[in-house]
Chain A
Amino acid sequence: MNKEQKPTVTEKPSDMLLACVVTRGKGSQLMNLLRREGASYAVSTFAEGTIPSHILNMLGIAKTKKELVFAFINREIEETCYQSLAHEMKLDQTGHGVAFSIPLCNHPEPPAETKLAATFIIVDKGRGEDVLDLLDELGLRGGTLISAFGGASMTDIRFNLPIQPEKELIFMVAPKEPLPNMLKTLDEKLSFSEPHQGIAITFAITRAIGLYSEEKKGK
């Protein structure tokens, strides 16, 4: 722990994780925007959004290309970050993307009660669709698929070639109430309690912007 810390833009330690999902191509713009606002660190990765539209789903073109941005910010700049997200990236209007903040462990005031929660579901590659179908049955829509690597058993070297298990990570924001039910269903239907089947974890969200809601479906 006595290692020298690299200089960052903000002197204060970051205590918020700001996660944003935007259309592919806008990730760099978003990262630069957040960096300018004072985020200590920002990374982006490619993801696939799942639009909750049955017609597109029937046609098999329901997947849209998205970019997921993780930025680490200090809670003091959260407000300005959200303002510029709404202003410059138009995240306050639906259809332009979503952003939400998850407090980190070193946040001084842990959130007491939050209405929303983010869910991470990690399964083997190919099973992501099953999870999404199951979530759809429960009325939870709009997950983001990210391809990832790794697992409990790490890289195996066979015939001099490293073999790394491929995973799929589903990232979703939902109201907090149906979540215990969701975890229970995942456990029952996809037997998550058995080893090597997958894991699901949830996080508290303190603030969100641009979320898709069923009421706005008519728009």
Chain B
Amino acid sequence: MLMVSVPLGKAERVVQLANKAGARGATILHTREALPEPKSFQLEPQRDIVLIVTSAELQQGIEESIRAGFEQAIKVYCVPILNSVGLDHNS
């Protein structure tokens, strides 16, 4: 599973890029990010976290496609999956 963090509103673009590279869907979470240094007044920029569940073969391609589609460096993390259900159907 890929976890991609982008500024609020850019999630749709990530999903488009991922789908182009072969992903079959994505789930978006609206989150708040912690800044590296806490200030006296707290600012927490909003971020979208896009979860993309995909096979290990497609993962590299999707990651590269997302990175190439954005000007700035974005954070992409990959979490290995043990088991899954609901992904195998060929629709």
Question: Which 3 A-B pairs give the minimum distances between C-beta atoms?
Answer: A31-B34, A152-B25, A192-B86
- Which among A8, A28, A195 is the interface contact of B44 at CB below 8 angstroms? A28
- Which among A103, A148, A151, A203 is the interface contact of B29 at CB below 8 angstroms? A148
B34: A residues at CB distance < 8 A:
28, 31-32, 34-35, 42-44
Can you list, as one digit per residue, whether each of A147-162 has a CB less than 8 Å from chain B (1) or not (0)?
A: 0111111110000000
26 contacts between A and B (CB under 8 A): A5-B73, A31-B34, A35-B35, A44-B32, A70-B31, A102-B79, A103-B80, A110-B80, A117-B82, A148-B27, A148-B51, A149-B11, A150-B27, A151-B26, A152-B25, A154-B25, A180-B83, A183-B83, A184-B85, A186-B85, A192-B86, A195-B89, A198-B86, A199-B53, A201-B53, A204-B80
Is B88 in contact with chain A by the CB < 8 A criterion?
A: yes
Can you list, as one digit per residue, whether each of B67-91 has a CB less than 8 Å from chain A (1) or not (0)?
A: 1000011010111111111111101
The size class of the interface chain A forms with chain B is 35 or more
- The smallest beta-carbon distance between A207 and chain B, in angstroms, is 15
- The smallest beta-carbon distance between B17 and chain A, in angstroms, is 12
The answer to whether B29 and A202 have CB atoms under 8 Å apart is: no
Is A122 in contact with chain B by the CB < 8 A criterion?
A: yes
A172: B residues at CB distance < 8 A:
none
Which B residues contact A (CB, under 8 angstroms)? 1, 3, 5, 11-12, 15-16, 19, 24-36, 38, 42, 44, 47, 49-51, 53, 59, 64, 67, 72-73, 75, 77-89, 91
B91: A residues at CB distance < 8 A:
195-196
Residue ID in chain A nearest B48 by CB atoms: A149
The answer to whether B33 and A42 have CB atoms under 8 Å apart is: yes
Which residue, A35, A43, A149, has most C-beta atoms of chain B within 10 A? Answer: A43
B82: A residues at CB distance < 8 A:
117, 179, 201-204
CA distance A199 to B52 in the complex (A): 12
The answer to whether A152 and B86 have CB atoms under 8 Å apart is: no
B49: A residues at CB distance < 8 A:
43, 45, 70
- The smallest beta-carbon distance between B11 and chain A, in angstroms, is 8
The answer to whether A167 and B27 have CB atoms under 8 Å apart is: yes
CA distance A165 to B27 in the complex (A): 10
Can you list, as one digit per residue, whether each of A110-124 has a CB less than 8 Å from chain B (1) or not (0)?
A: 100000010010100
Is A78 in contact with chain B by the CB < 8 A criterion?
A: no
The answer to whether A201 and B1 have CB atoms under 8 Å apart is: yes
CA distance A183 to B51 in the complex (A): 20
- Which among A120, A183, A203 is the interface contact of B80 at CB below 8 angstroms? A203
- The smallest beta-carbon distance between B56 and chain A, in angstroms, is 9
Can you list, as one digit per residue, whether each of A12-38 has a CB less than 8 Å from chain B (1) or not (0)?
A: 001001000000000110011011100
Whether A199 contacts B85 in the complex (CB less than 8 A), given A45-B32, A122-B27, A150-B28, comes out as yes
15 further contact pairs, Cβ within 8 A, besides A45-B32, A72-B75:
A9-B36, A14-B77, A28-B32, A35-B38, A43-B47, A45-B29, A103-B80, A120-B1, A148-B28, A149-B29, A150-B27, A153-B25, A198-B86, A202-B81, A203-B81
